[in-house]
A and B are shown apart, each in its own frame.
Chain A
């Protein structure tokens, strides 16, 4: 198979860090906070590398849109087995306004430019829990509310990785050394002909309200009384 796979990897706040909202409510605190690759993106990379190891695809390209630091995330993807990286340089105000629409435009433009047959992303898409590569189509098993669903899709296609798709590998020390030699290309969104203007404006960011303590009741009558009191029934 001579297919190329594009995998999107995003640099996000580390999942173990407690997120705090900035005092001016314009966003969350990111300065000095530990960042790493989105765990779902790790699963996406793992799936792509496994496909390459099974010799079903030829090349894995890791892509990240963001400021200079996104290159660290691409390096981690390279250390896990991706062949080369593309860093779409977006910084400052543009980065703050970068929404799903803009990123999709960028990925679509890159997919065309690099002649990509399959794009694998972390969650929020088709939630694949198993992917089978066939001649020119994919058999994807995904988890839905009622159970499991198996669908067949033609390529080029976009698949997103769910938690149970695989267990990502550790980047071994020798692979980290090898990743040093792999290429990362930098492109600007304008090179891809993508317009970054956003239709959305962030008005304010707030923490979710604190969970209130619950109240225990002794009997069903008590429960009904409480529900009436709070105007629910």
Chain B
């Protein structure tokens, strides 16, 4: 990494870490305003940054990437197999994530967080996913969904209470999906009834990640059913609130160390001061949050694919058949090169979406592309890696089969591939309208 690239990358960091732009909320309208004019005004801006390759990191981003890699290799890797088998995340891993500052990456220093950029979280998630995608998703949800919601929508009081805890020892869960509403999220049925200065929440949620360990739950409930989705409000519910029960953990195909449980709300009483943001704006926050969360999942799938690939290639270089390494057969070389290209493409989509988001520029279509593509690439990569490893790839003694099982959820959660494609099509439609 030549000094000049590092310098231009650093300039990029200092100038383009902008606060959340209001434009992004109005995601749909912004999509139409893209064009040549915007790009050319920016070309006149900071010299050097537009010419840097996407894999240019500023010094602290590089240092953090190395720090995560080291930690993941030494402290998480030895426990991965056990955590997968027992479907349980080891406490030492959870403590380690908090101790190292991975759980409060974008939280401001004065709340006890790391105070780093969104791109840093993407790098952290990617490095963690190379070792264990379950750990990566826990870190992703905390940083891109929970912390971001508090940071953007919280009152000073809510921020001062929750952000320091989220950075040091409290895990959060995002509760949107229900048994009857997945992709059709806004048809959620959980209700919040207003009484004086508090609300009573009744309903249930399903597929809630991190719920076994979470100390706080961000619950999307409808406070005004007659207004349809415009009644959806985000409530902060602490774990020990009466009436909230956490159901039995799902027995999943993959991401087994990540706890996924159903939740029931039985007359859960929540004070009005626990509304995050404004009444009836929950749907907007959810979409906004998931736009960024999408890039996090893309990073997770990217790391998964890369980790799987990194484990499989050395085998192909060592295994000898018919007198030569299996890597040396042209059929293998072509497959390997093809997969490597797909991973690189997914990486560039993900990094670009992250940089766009940091720069306060429209990024929703790119985020959808990144998530959709990375999850497809992860599926392709893991499937091929098992084939390259032959019989041993099929056994639990090697980490490959775990990556194969873990990748499937990528094209399903935080917006199925079909939803991503439909969203992209909406943007394309608008771009081409006269």
Contact = CB atoms under 8 A, between A and B. Distances in A.
B3 A173 contact: no
A171 B60 CA distance: 11
Contacts of A176: 60, 63-64, 67
Contacts of A188: none
Nearest to A34: B66
B63 A76 contact: yes
Contacts, number: 48
Interface string A156-180: 0000000000000011111111011
Interface in A182-215: none
A72 B60 CA distance: 10
Nearest to B121: A173
Contacts of B120: 173
The SS class assigned to the A binding surface is helix
B105 to A, nearest CB: 7
Contact of A173 (B59, B70, B100): B100
A172 B101 contact: yes
A75 interface: yes
B60 A174 contact: no
A170 B115 contact: no
A48 interface: no
A79 interface: yes
Given A68-B3, A75-B59, A174 B113 contact: yes
A171 B69 CA distance: 12
The SS class assigned to the B binding surface is helix
B63 A79 contact: yes
Contacts of B64: 173, 176
A68 B3 CA distance: 9
Interface residues of A, number: 16
A171 B114 contact: no
A76 B67 CA distance: 10
B102 interface: yes
Contacts of B116: 173, 177
B67 A170 contact: yes
B115 A171 contact: no
A171 B63 contact: yes
A79 B100 CA distance: 12
Given A172-B100, A172-B101, A177 B109 contact: yes
B71 interface: yes
B99 interface: yes
A170 B3 CA distance: 25
A72 B65 CA distance: 14
Contacts of A36: 66
Contacts of B102: 173
Nearest to B73: A16
Contacts of B71: 170
Contacts of A79: 63, 67
A174 B63 contact: no
Interface string B84-102: 0000000000000001111
B67 A171 contact: yes
Given A170-B67, A170-B71, A171-B67, A177 B100 contact: no
B59 A174 contact: no
B63 A75 contact: yes
A79 B60 CA distance: 10
